[in-house]
């Protein structure tokens, strides 16, 4: 392993250990699973729909993540700044990018783990009927990418402020914006004033629009590029923000 | 060698560090002194690569901190002010993490962690979580992190802050011992620490270096350094003055207190560094048959030197006598 990969791995490992050394990780996973189950079975009416698909499960993800992902990401950098450990970390022989990537990847893998623990859904729907497992897999990939995009936004907002609460709220607002611009009711409202091309341009910056493609079982490179691009942009900006803090 | 040249740092319109240059070689322990807000921590943060300077050069070993930060940082160990730590980790876990980032793996890492734990007396708390530790242990855990890779260069920002007297003593002797092989810069408010540990001290005030020298050289900057205090009985003030002035080495005699019983004077030599001066005065006193109960040479006091050159503006303006010490750097 090259030195830089090794550094990213070391930082990610520490971050991951941080989640599991406190009850935060377990509480988060339990709440995520409970809410996902509640919305799928109670609100969407999974059984009443009588469909062998997980649409009623995935359709809630952009809303669920809105609260849960900022809760995971809010401490990434604000905690480092509050404790002063950022000074320790960045005077080690690591680059800013290695630190950012290590922390981001640890949280993303953690979210992936929470998402993977929803596997009983797949078992249930396969037991009850014959779903298209390709579509389900595709939706999982999309959901994971969307979680990464939300997380990158939280990573950026947590670099901006020392306060975790402020970081949480900022990230929630930004993510809400990224959802709402593609939310069908809002798009209908916009179409009263804007041309259809404008409306689709606006909704194309929404995570909802791009995630919808995955839910249909379509893996389009433009959707993948959208999510990865958003992640890259936010992490890049995080690096700029951290550097400007240090410059004073 | 750590070499710093013309370092400048602005915070907004305020010049926090103004054109600071110095070098520290291996085998030297450099004490970094100055009042709060003088720019000590800022300078240290720039040396360790945490904040970039607005201008100037920082060289650590053969590497330039600005152009080759990773390799320069590899040579450094750093204890930041207030000794920050990851609250949710165990001491052992934290030190392993630090060792891994320093490129130590496997058996080498274990050995380094074990050694750092022993050096810093952390055995009793090695497997405790950091946020359950007392301040002294926290400080030492962070200190352990800075020496884990046995660096050639150590930057310590107030390493004895918040420690009890025993712990302070331990840390000081640790620094002194390590200073034989390494180049160490450490900042402190405690002046005895400088006398005890440092081979050289720099005093900075409002971003400027106002003094740079060995602790004894700094003490010699005191205006009373080298003078002799004398308290004699049953002699008239004029006689004392007259006799003392016959000595060619005497520059002037200052009467501190005089009444019918005794005369207390301070005798200033022409050459401050003349070590025989007290003996000359003593000879004169015994030859003249004066009774005396005090005859001592003033060795200068670092705290007064420090106060003299770092006096805040307000005090300097209101004081008629001006600063105790004037220096040209």
Cβ–Cβ < 8 Å for A182, A206: yes
Question: What ranges do the domains of chain B cover?
Answer: 2-219, 228-297
Q: Which of A7, A17, A88 to mutate to test the interface with B (most CBs of B within 10 A)?
A: A88
How much is the pTM?
0.86
Alpha-carbon A137 to chain mean position: 17
What average pLDDT is seen over chain B? Answer: 87
pLDDT at A114 over 80: yes
Where would I find the H helices in chain A?
A: 3-20, 24-37, 46-49, 55-58, 61-73, 75-83, 85-90, 96-116, 119-128, 133-160, 164-180, 184-190, 196-203, 207-215, 221-247
Phi, psi of B294 (to 5 degrees): -150, 130
Fold for the domain defined by B2-219 = Rossmann fold (3.40.50)
Put simply, the answer to whether A17 touches B89 (Cβ < 8 Å) is yes
> Would you call A166 an interface residue with chain B, using a CB distance cutoff of 8 Å?
no
Q: What is the pLDDT of residues B156-169, one digit of tens each?
A: 999 888 788 888 88
User: What ipTM describes this predicted complex?
Assistant: 0.89
Architecture field, domain B228-297: 2-Layer Sandwich (3.30)
> Would you call B50 an interface residue with chain A, using a CB distance cutoff of 8 Å?
yes
Q: What is the pLDDT of residues B40-73, one digit of tens each?
A: 999 999 999 999 999 999 999 999 999 999 999 9
pLDDT at A1: 61
Put simply, the answer to whether B101 touches A10 (Cβ < 8 Å) is yes
pLDDT at B313 over 80: no
pLDDT at B91: 95
Number of domains forming the structure of chain A: 1
Put simply, the answer to whether B98 touches A247 (Cβ < 8 Å) is no
Cβ–Cβ < 8 Å for B88, A24: no
Q: Please report residues of A whose CB lies closer than 8 A to that of B87.
A: 83
Put simply, the answer to whether B76 touches A14 (Cβ < 8 Å) is no
Put simply, the answer to whether B103 touches A10 (Cβ < 8 Å) is no
Lowest-confidence pick of A26-40, A50-64, B128-142: A50-64
A85 CA: distance to closest CA in chain B (Å): 5
Query: Between B73, B86, B97, which is nearest A93 by CB?
Result: B73
* Two structure tokens written together for A146: 């969307």
Of residues A231 and A4, the one with the higher pLDDT is A231
At A42, the pLDDT band (50, 70, 90 cuts) reads: confident
Mean pLDDT of A21-38: 90
Nearest CA in chain A to B51: A246
Q: Which residue range is the domain that position A32 belongs to?
A: 3-247
B223-234 burial string, b = 16+ CB within 10 Å, else e?
A: bbbbbbbbbbee
Q: Please report residues of B whose CB lies closer than 8 A to that of A248.
A: 9-11, 51
CA distance B179 to A61: 58
């Amino acid at each position: 392993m090259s030195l830089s990969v090794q550094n990213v791995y070391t930082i990610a490992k520490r971050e991951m250990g941080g989640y599991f050394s406190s009850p935060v990780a377990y509480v988060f996973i339990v709440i995520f699973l409970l809410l996902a189950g509640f919305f799928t079975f109670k609100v969407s009416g999974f059984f009443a729909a009588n469909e062998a698909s997980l649409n009623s499960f995935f359709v809630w993800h952009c809303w669920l993540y809105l609260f849960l992902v900022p809760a995971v990401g809010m401490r990434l950098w604000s905690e480092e700044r509050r404790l002063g450990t950022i000074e320790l970390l960045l005077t080690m022989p690591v680059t800013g990018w290695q630190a950012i990537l290590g922390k981001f990847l640890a949280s993303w893998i953690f979210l992936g783990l929470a998402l993977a623990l929803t596997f009983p859904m797949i078992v249930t729907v396969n037991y009850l009927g014959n779903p298209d497992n390709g579509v389900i897999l595709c939706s999982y990939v999309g959901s994971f990418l969307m979680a990464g995009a939300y997380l990158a936004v939280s990573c950026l907002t947590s670099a901006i402020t020392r306060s975790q609460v402020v970081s949480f709220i900022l990230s929630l607002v930004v993510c809400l914006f990224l959802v709402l611009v593609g939310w069908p009711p809002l798009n209908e409202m916009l179409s009263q004033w804007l041309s259809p091309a404008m409306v689709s341009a606006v909704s194309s910056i929404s995570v909802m629009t791009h995630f919808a493609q995955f839910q249909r079982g379509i893996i389009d490179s433009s959707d993948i590029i959208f999510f990865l691009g958003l992640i890259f942009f936010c992490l890049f900006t995080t690096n700029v923000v951290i550097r400007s803090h240090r410059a004073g | 060698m750590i070499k710093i040249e013309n370092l400048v740092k602005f915070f907004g319109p305020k010049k926090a560090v103004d054109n600071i240059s110095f070098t520290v070689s291996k085998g030297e322990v450099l004490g970094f002194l100055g009042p709060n807000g003088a720019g000590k921590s800022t300078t240290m943060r720039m040396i360790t690569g945490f904040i970039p300077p607005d201008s100037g050069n920082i060289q650590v070993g053969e590497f330039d901190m600005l152009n080759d930060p990773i390799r320069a940082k590899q040579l450094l160990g750093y204890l930041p002010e207030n000794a920050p730590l990851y609250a949710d980790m165990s001491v052992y876990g934290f030190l392993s993490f630090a060792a891994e980032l320093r490129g130590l793996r496997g058996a080498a890492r274990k050995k380094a962690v074990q050694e750092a734990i022993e050096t810093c007396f952390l055995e009793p708390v090695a497997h405790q979580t950091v946020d359950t530790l007392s301040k002294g242990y926290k400080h030492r855990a962070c200190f352990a992190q800075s020496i884990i890779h046995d660096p050639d260069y150590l930057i310590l920002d107030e390493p004895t802050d918040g420690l009890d007297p025993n712990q302070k003593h331990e840390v000081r002797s640790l620094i002194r011992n390590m200073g034989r092989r390494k180049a160490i810069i450490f900042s402190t408010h405690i002046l005895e620490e400088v006398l005890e540990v440092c081979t050289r001290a720099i005093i900075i005030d409002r971003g400027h270096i106002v003094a740079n020298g060995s602790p004894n050289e700094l003490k010699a900057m005191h205006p009373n350094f080298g003078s002799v205090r004398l308290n004699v009985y049953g002699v008239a003030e004029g006689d004392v003055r007259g006799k003392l002035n016959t000595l060619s080495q005497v520059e002037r005699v200052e009467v501190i207190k005089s009444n019918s019983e005794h005369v207390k004077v301070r005798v200033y030599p022409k050459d401050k560094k003349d070590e025989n001066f007290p003996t000359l005065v003593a000879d004169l006193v015994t030859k003249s048959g004066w009774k005396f109960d005090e005859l001592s040479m003033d060795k200068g006091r670092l705290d007064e030197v420090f106060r003299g050159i770092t006096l805040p503006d307000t005090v300097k303006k209101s004081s008629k006598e001006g600063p105790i010490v004037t220096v040209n750097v």
